Amino acid sequence: MATTALFFVFAGLAIACAISMVYHKNPLYSAISLIGVFVSLSVLYVTLAAPFIAAVQILIYAGAIMVLVVFVIMLLNMEEDKPLNRLRYLYAIGGGLGLILLVQTFFVFYAVMRAPKQAVNTEETIGKTMSIGTAMYTEYLLPVEIVGILLLMAIIGGVILVRKLSQPQMESMVERELERRHEGEDKDDYRIAL
């Protein structure tokens, strides 16, 4: 009974945060709402007896990934956008797709309610750290290694993209930026020195 109540509370919170994420025009508020979605989903994982997945959800998504997203938002320095009147037809398309999603949600709810109930085996450890580690490094070893190589390739690509400028070019770019900001007298300041 308490598990069902927790499910409905945090499922509603996840839906509310997702709607808030889409609704806000400020990307920083959207990122904070997405953190609310991740936290709500991790509580749902705990109620489904998967504490390892819940911890990973908090540490990886709500922690590391969202910090990166917030840093990118801050670095982009987005200014206030003017409303685009020429894209008004997208509201109708979005409303239609939202209606289709709502119908699918009710269909899944109906199908789950009509499905026969099966007894839960409490001896199984699905969602626990041991079972996930055993499955990852026995049955799914090849996909785990492929994902590791893909992540390594992404890291190398990011380093190559960042190191595009040589040191003299970087110094001249910093000097031009300081002159543009009228901060040429602060050029030798240790906080902005290369």
Q: Domain locations in the chain?
A: 1-118
- Give the Cα separation of 47 and 44 in Å (integer): 5
Residue 49 Ramachandran class (φ > 0 left, ψ -120 to 50 alpha, else beta): left
| Cα–Cα distance list, 29 to 64, 76, 78, 91, 155 (Å) | 17, 15, 13, 21, 28
Tell me if 127 sits within 8 A of 133, measured CB to CB.
no
The rounded percent of the chain whose pLDDT value lies above 70 is 77
Q: Which residues of 128-154 are buried (b: 16+ CB within 10 A; e: fewer)?
A: eeeebeeeeeeeeeeeeeeeeeeeeee
The model's pTM: 0.54
Tokens found for residue 153: 């390739």
Task: Reply yes or no on whether the pLDDT at 98 is more than 80.
Answer: yes
- Give the Cα separation of 29 and 80 in Å (integer): 14
Q: Which of 58-67, 70-79, 170-179 has the highest mean pLDDT?
A: 58-67
Residue of 52 and 184 predicted with greater confidence: 52
- Give the Cα separation of 142 and 161 in Å (integer): 29
- How many other CB atoms are there within 10 angstroms of residue 20's CB atom? 16
- Give the Cα separation of 31 and 190 in Å (integer): 33
- pLDDT digit string, tens, across residues 124-166: 656 667 777 888 888 899 988 998 899 888 888 777 776 655 5
Question: Percentage helix, strand, coil, to 5, in the chain?
Answer: 75, 0, 25
Query: What pLDDT band is residue 91 in, cutting at 50, 70 and 90?
Result: confident
Query: What pLDDT band is residue 37 in, cutting at 50, 70 and 90?
Result: very high
Residue with tokens 């945060």: 17
Q: What is the pLDDT of residue 170?
A: 63
Find out if CATH 3.20.20.80 is the number for domain 1-118: no
Tell me if 38 sits within 8 A of 62, measured CB to CB.
yes
